[in-house]
Amino acid sequence: MTAQVLHDFLYVGAFLLVGVIFAITPIIISWLIGGRSVGVKRAETYESGMEAIGSAWIQFSVAYYIYALIFLAFDVDVLYLFPVALAYDKGFVIRDFIEIVIFIGILSLAIIYAWRKGVFTWQRRS
């Protein structure tokens, strides 16, 4: 290897080391100065100041997780539309419009697919 390649690897290693230090330092500081408590109240589940009823380890239907994942995916996808909307009138208006229609069409197909699979139907469990 040449000296330039080693020099570049040195920069990458230095940035990696600094990144690890910046990631670990707050964890170590909070462990050193953080309070530690033990007791019965510490092991209890806390939810808005109300006493917990039953166990926190209950089983949820997978439909809730799928619904949440679909929401998250569409939420992130809609965020990609904002830059397109800001740059919409700067040049290729017809091409941009067609791209937006295709993008929304693909999102619509995903919603239709999830609807047909029954993801959006809620069933109450006793």
Buried b / exposed e along 51-86 (16+ C-beta atoms within 10 A) = eeeeeeeeeeeeeeeeeeebeeeeeeeeeeeeeeee
For the chain, the domains span 3-43, 62-116
% of the chain residues with pLDDT over 90: 16
Q: What is the pLDDT of residue 21?
A: 97
Cα distance between residue 21 and residue 118, in whole Å = 47
Give the list of residues 6+ apart from residue 71 with CB closer than 8 angstroms, or none.
none
pLDDT (tens digit per residue) in 69-78: 888 878 878 8
pLDDT (tens digit per residue) in 50-100: 776 777 677 777 777 777 888 887 887 888 888 877 777 777 778 888 888
Q: What are phi and psi of 47, to 5 degrees?
A: -140, 95
pTM flag (> 0.85): no
